[in-house]
Amino acid sequence: MNEKLLGNGRGLQAGIGLMALMLIILIVFTTHSRIAADRIEALDISVAASSNVASIVAANLGEVLGRTAIYARLSTTFLEQAHDAQAIGNPLAIGDAAFLRMAIFDAEGKLAHSSSRRQVEPDLQLFARTVLFSETSPALVIGGIDTGINTHDPQTGWRIPVAVPLISGQRRIGAFAGYIDLGYLLALYKEASLGTRSRIEIIDSRGHQLAEMVDGTMSAGRDLERTGYASFTGGTQLSGTIDARRPGDSGASIGVYRRLDHFPLLVTVTRSRAAVLDELAPRDVKYLIRATLISLLILLASAGLIVLAQRQRRLYAGLTDSEARNLALINQLETEKVRAYQLASLDFLTDIPNRMKFYELAAIELSRARRSRRLTAVFFLDLDKFKVINDTYGHGVGDLLLQQVASRLRLSLRGHDLAARLGGDEFAVLVSDLDSDEAVAIVARKLVASLSEPYPDLDGHDLDITPSIGVALYPGDGEEIDTLLSRADRAMYLAKQGGRGCFRFYEASLNTTSARSAELVSRFARAIRDGEFCLHYQQRVSCTDFRPVGLEALVRWQHPEHGMIFPGEFITLAEEHDCIVALGNHVIDMACAQVANWQVLGLTVLPVAINISARQLRDETLPDIMTACLKKYAIPASLIEIEVTESCFIEQPELAEKVLRALDELGMRISLDDYGTGFSGLSHLKRLPISTVKIDRSFIRDIRNDNSDAVIVSSTISLSHNLGLKVVAEGVETRDQVVHLKTAGCDELQGYYFHRPAAAADITALLRHPSAYAA
C-alpha cells in the first residue's frame, strides 16, 4: 500500500511538472505570437501610413506637373502676341515656389524669355530643343537622370527639367521649359510622421530616381531599375506594396509605390522594416520580461508545489508507515493475547482444555443443547488410588500416567466431545447429542474400559489403574455446568464407594448430602483409626421411680475440622458406603471398653445398649466379634444390650434372625428400636428373640395432641405386655408425656426430660452418685 502511495505521490509531482511545462510553453507561444502579431500590425500600420503619404505626394506632384499646361498656354500667348514679358506672368513673380526657373523659346529654339532675366539659358535651351525638334512631340517631357542636365545643387534644391512644345494652330511656335524643384516639394513632407529611416522617392518610368528624401535629407540620381529594386516601374498597376531589400541596405524596406495619374512618374514611400520593428523592441522586451517572470513564477510555484507534495508524501508515507507499524504491533499483541489465552486455557501437562476452558466450552455446548431434545452428559472422572501411584513411583510417572489418560480420553471420544483436566487426577468429559440413559451408560462403560487398560512402560513401570466416574445429565440433573459438574462429582463418590473402576449416575437423593458427606465418607476408615469417634450415653429410667436402669451408647464423631458430628449425618452414609460394619464393630469395642473401665473403677454398671445396623446384623461374624470383645474386656454379656430396627429384617431376614439369635444366646437383651416407623406388626416379630420394644419418639412427641398417636402408644404398650415384652418410650421431653406414659403403663422412659446423652466422664460421675442424678 505504501509503495502504491509513494507511486501516486511521484505521479502527482510529475503531473505538476508537466503542467508547469505546458503553461510555460503556452506562455512562450502566446508571447511569440503576440510579438509576431504586433509586428504584422506595426508593418501594416507603417504600410498604411506610407500609402497615405504616397497618395498625397503623388497628388501634389501631379498638380505641380499639371501646372506646366497653364504655363504653356501663357507662353503661347506670349509668343503669338506682343512678346510682352511683363504681360505674361513670371512664375517667380507669381510666387510658384515649385518652379525654380521658366523659359520660353521660339520656333528656332532661341530664348524668348527667361524668368531669371538671363540672356541665355543653355541648359533649358538644350532641353527645349529635344521637344522642339523631336519627331514625336509629346505634350510634356520630363528630364531624366540620363539627360545629364540635372545636377546636384544644394543651393537650388532638386531640379527636374520639364519642357512642353507650344502649338498654335497646327504649328510648333516654340517651347516652354522650366525646372521643377522636387526638393521643395518633398520638403513639405519632411514633417510627415513616418518615423525614422523612412524614405520618399520620385522615380520615373524607367526606374531612374529623380529625388529621394531620407529622414529629411535629399539625394537623387540612382538607377534603381538597374539594381532590380524598382521592378514595379515597368508595370501598369496604379499602386502596390514594396517589401524588398534596397541595394546597399542591410535589411528590407516596406512601403508602397504610387503611379501618377497623368505623368510617367512614381512616388514610393518606404521605411526600413527594421526601423518599424525596432520601435516594437521595448514592447517586445516588456513582453519577454513579463513572460519570463510569469514562467519563473510558474516554475517557482510548481517547484513549491512539488516540494510541498514531496513533504506531504513523506509525511503521509511516515504516517502510513507508523500506522502499519501500529497495525503490526496490534496484530502481534492480538496473536500474543490469543496465544496467552490458549496457554491459559490449555492444561500444561496434557494439552487438553483446563477447568476454565471446560466451563467456557461446556456453557456454549449447553446453550446449544437447549435447542435440542437430546441428552447431554457430564462425566466426572477420578483415578482410583492415584495418590498411591504418585507416592510410590514419583510425580514424573504420575504425570506420564495423566498424559496417557488424557490421550485415551481423547481417543475414546468423538471429535466434538469435550474432555478437560480439572486438576490433579480429576477429568471432566462432556458428551452431547445422546438419545437415552443407556447411550450415556455405553459411553461411561467405554471410558471405564479404556482407562482401565494397562499402562505399559511408564518410565519403566507397567501400571494398572481404574477410574471412578460420576455422570450427571442435562437437563434432568441440572441446567448449568456448575450444577452438573458438582452433581457428577457427587455421583463419582458413589462410584468410588461402589467399589471403584465403575460409574454411577447422579441421583437426586445425593443432593442433600453435599460434598461434605463425600468428604466424611472418604474419611471414615481414617477417623476410626485415629479415634475420632466416641460414645455418648443416654440414661433410660424406670417409669416407677425414674431411677436409671440402663444406658444407650450413641456414637459421636469428633471431626477435627467440623467439630462434633451427630450420627444422623453419618450413619446412613456409613451404611451406604459399606463403612457401617467397621464403625459398628468400633462402637462395640468402645462400649465394652467403657463398661470395663467403669467396672475397674468399682462402680455399679448399668447395662449399655448398642445400636446395631441392618448390615451388621447380616454379618455372621458379629456374634464372634461380640464374644471376643466381651472376653477382651472381661465383661458379662448381661451388661451389653442390642438395639435393632424393623428394617434389619427386610433384606435377608433369615440371616439377620440367625445372627440375632446368636447374640441372644450370648445372653444379651435385645430391643426393637424406633418401633412404629416400620411396616411389620408386633405379632410378626413374635418369633424374634426380642425382650423390649422402644416406641419411636415421633409417637411420643404428639401423644398429648394427636389422639391416634396416643391410641397407638397405649395399644402398643398393652399388646407388648401381652407378648411379654417390656416397653420403653423414646424422646420423652415433657412432664405431660411422662404422666401420659406412666398412666398408659409404660415400663421405662428415655428422653431429654430426664437426661440428655452425655460423655462417659459425666456418666462416671452419675454412677458414683446415683442419687444426685435422680430426677
Nearest-CB residue for ligand C2E: 751
Task: Please tell me the distance from the alpha carbon of residue 176 to that of residue 166, in angstroms, as a whole number.
Answer: 7
Q: Is 174 left (phi over 0), alpha (psi -120 to 50) or beta?
A: left
Residue 123: burial class (beta carbons within 10 Å; 0-12, 13-18, 19+): buried
CA 96 from centroid of its chain's CA atoms: 108
Nearer to Ca ion, 381 or 760 (CB): 760
Binder of ligand C2E out of 404, 538, 671, 692 (CB under 6 A): 538
The nearest distance, CB 730 to ligand C2E, in angstroms, is: 6
The nearest distance, CB 549 to ligand C2E, in angstroms, is: 15
Select from 414, 389, 526, 573 the least CA-distant residue to 467: 389
Nearer to ligand C2E, 405 or 732 (CB): 732
Beta-carbon contacts of 127 under 8 Å, excluding residues fewer than 6 positions away, are 141, 143, 147, 149, 161, 163, 177
User: Given the rule CB under 6 A, which of 286-294, 297-305, 347-355, 744-752 is the region that contacts ligand C2E?
Assistant: 744-752
538 binds, options Ca ion, ligand C2E, none, Cβ within 5 to 8 A by partner type = ligand C2E
- In the complex, the residues that contact Ca ion under the rule CB under 5 A are 611, 643, 673-674, 730
User: Given the rule CB under 6 A, which of 66-74, 118-126, 203-211, 551-559 is the region that contacts ligand C2E?
Assistant: 551-559
732 scored as a contact of ligand C2E (CB under 6 A)? yes
Give the N- to C-terminal CA distance of the chain in Å, as an integer: 102
Query: Which amino acid appears at position 137 of this protein?
Result: S
CB atoms within 10 A of CB 339: 10
| DSSP 8-state symbol, 679 | S
Binder of ligand C2E out of 143, 398, 607, 731 (CB under 6 A): 731
531 scored as a contact of ligand C2E (CB under 6 A)? no
CA 95 from centroid of its chain's CA atoms: 110
x/- letters, 746..775, toward ligand C2E (CB under 6 A): ----xxx----x------------------
Q: How many residues bind ligand C2E (CB under 6 A)?
A: 25
554 scored as a contact of ligand C2E (CB under 6 A)? yes
Binder of ligand C2E out of 46, 585, 611, 647 (CB under 6 A): 611
Rounded alpha-carbon distances, angstroms, from residue 556 to 139, 609, 625, 739 = 179, 15, 21, 31
733 scored as a contact of ligand C2E (CB under 6 A)? yes
What's the half-sphere exposure (Cβ side, CA atoms, 13 Å) at 592?
22
The nearest distance, CB 717 to ligand C2E, in angstroms, is: 18
What's the half-sphere exposure (Cβ side, CA atoms, 13 Å) at 472?
27
Rounded alpha-carbon distances, angstroms, from residue 546 to 540, 713, 754 = 9, 19, 8
User: Given the rule CB under 6 A, which of 262-270, 562-570, 596-604, 661-669 is the region that contacts ligand C2E?
Assistant: 562-570
Q: Where are the beta strands (DSSP E) in 467-542?
A: 467-474, 503-505, 533-542
Binder of ligand C2E out of 302, 613, 671, 720 (CB under 6 A): 613
Nearer to Ca ion, 121 or 730 (CB): 730
Under a CB-based contact definition with an 8 Å cutoff, are residues 220 and 234 in contact?
Answer: no
The nearest distance, CB 474 to Ca ion, in angstroms, is: 41
- Strand 726-729 to strand 748-749: parallel, antiparallel, or no bridges (unpaired)? parallel
Task: Please tell me the distance from the alpha carbon of residue 578 to that of residue 523, in angstroms, as a whole number.
Answer: 13
Binder of ligand C2E out of 398, 584, 607, 623 (CB under 6 A): 584
Nearer to Ca ion, 204 or 730 (CB): 730
User: Given the rule CB under 6 A, which of 276-284, 354-362, 440-448, 727-735 is the region that contacts ligand C2E?
Assistant: 727-735
- Strand 503-505 to strand 467-474: parallel, antiparallel, or no bridges (unpaired)? parallel
Binder of ligand C2E out of 276, 352, 430, 587 (CB under 6 A): 587
User: Given the rule CB under 6 A, which of 42-50, 364-372, 539-547, 609-617 is the region that contacts ligand C2E?
Assistant: 609-617
Binder of ligand C2E out of 571, 655, 710, 719 (CB under 6 A): 571
Nearer to ligand C2E, 279 or 733 (CB): 733
Select from 686, 679, 673, 671 the least CA-distant residue to 650: 679
User: What does the angle CA 31 – CA 33 – CA 39 come to, to the nearest 5 degrees?
Assistant: 105
Binder of ligand C2E out of 201, 489, 674, 748 (CB under 6 A): 674
Task: Please tell me the distance from the alpha carbon of residue 260 to that of residue 266, in angstroms, as a whole number.
Answer: 6
Q: Is 539 helix (H, G, I), strand (E, B) or coil?
A: strand
DSSP 127-194: HHHHHHS-SS--S-EE--GGGS----BTTTB-EEEEEEEEEETTEEEEEEEEEEEHHHHHHTTTTS--
Binder of ligand C2E out of 697, 699, 746, 766 (CB under 6 A): 697
571 binds, options ligand C2E, Ca ion, none, Cβ within 5 to 8 A by partner type = ligand C2E
Nearer to ligand C2E, 594 or 613 (CB): 613
User: Given the rule CB under 6 A, which of 137-145, 167-175, 444-452, 729-737 is the region that contacts ligand C2E?
Assistant: 729-737
752 binds, options Ca ion, ligand C2E, none, Cβ within 5 to 8 A by partner type = ligand C2E
Select from 722, 735, 743 the least CA-distant residue to 775: 735
Nearer to ligand C2E, 242 or 717 (CB): 717
Task: Please tell me the distance from the alpha carbon of residue 229 to that of residue 250, in angstroms, as a whole number.
Answer: 14
User: Given the rule CB under 6 A, which of 114-122, 354-362, 472-480, 563-571 is the region that contacts ligand C2E?
Assistant: 563-571
Q: Which residues inside 106-125 make contact with ligand C2E, applying CB under 6 A?
A: none
To 10 degrees, the CA torsion angle through 329, 334, 337, 342? -140
The nearest distance, CB 701 to ligand C2E, in angstroms, is: 8
Return residues touching ligand C2E (CB under 6 A). 538, 553-555, 566-568, 571, 584, 587, 611-613, 643, 673-674, 697, 730-733, 750-752, 757
